[in-house]
Structure 1
Amino acid sequence: MAEFGRVSVCGAVSTYNDEGKHIGMPALTSPFSEATVIWKQLRFEGFIVTRWNDRWMEGIHQLKAWIVQGKLKNMESVVHGFDKMPSAFIGLFHGDNTGKAVVVP
């Protein structure tokens, strides 16, 4: 992170199945160092996407414009054959895919 950097945090999927967590006790873990946060004077802000429901379509239009301009690229891992769907699904949990995982006939 650059000095005075900003980090937006939405979701904690990496902690959802953490068996080391105590049930009923909210806790988020991440690989950052508190000393680095202080030394670099970083700013962290958590958010929930529904905070901006009233601007949903504005976001859709902006994302579309970035795709058309080539500033945003869609990444997919495509698996051919419905018979491979179980292995494609299991691959999600092993990091086999890049971006969206799609199974096509």
Structure 2
Amino acid sequence: MRVFGRIAVCGGISLYNDTTKQTGPYVQTLMIFKQLRMEGFLVSRWKHKDEETLKQLMAWVKEGKLKYEEHITKGFENMPAAFMGMLKGENTGKAVVAV
């Protein structure tokens, strides 16, 4: 992270039905020394910018400036397992079921 960097935090679907307290990395020291800012947000806050944003993101993908990962599960019959895997955090990137 760069000094004064920003971290966008969105999503929490994997925690919706969780009954145990989450544990994980503690980033407080890094956040203090790098003077970072972390802000939660809802995607709906930016709904009015959908068209503009999609055009920019697609341009960045074509230019190689924006890279993405997909976790592809093959077969419609594997959709339930793919969905459960997504909730458990077993995928990296966008979860896709190819039929």
TM-score by length of structure 2 reads 0.66
Aligned pairs for 1:15-94 (under 5 A) are 15-20=15-20, 31-94=25-88
Residues 3, 40 of structure 1: 8 Å contact kept: yes
Count how many residue pairs are aligned between Structure 1 and Structure 2. Answer: 99
What CA deviation, in whole Å up to 9, does each residue of 1:14-67 have, x standing for no partner? Answer: 53333135xxxxxx9763343332233222222222222221111011011112
Higher relative contact order (CA 8 A, sep 6+): 2
Query: What is the one-letter code of the residue matched to 1:34?
Result: Q
What CA deviation, in whole Å up to 9, does each residue of 1:49-96 have, x standing for no partner? Answer: 222222111101101111221222343233333343344344334554
Partner of 1:3: 3
Distance 1:53 1:92, change over 3 A: closer
SS in 1 for 2:65: coil
Residues 69, 94 of structure 2: 8 Å contact kept: yes
Q: Unpaired segments of 5 or more residues in structure 2?
A: none
Residues 78, 101 of structure 1: 8 Å contact kept: yes
Superposed CA RMSD: 3.0
**Deviation above 6 Å: which 4+ runs of structure 1?**
none
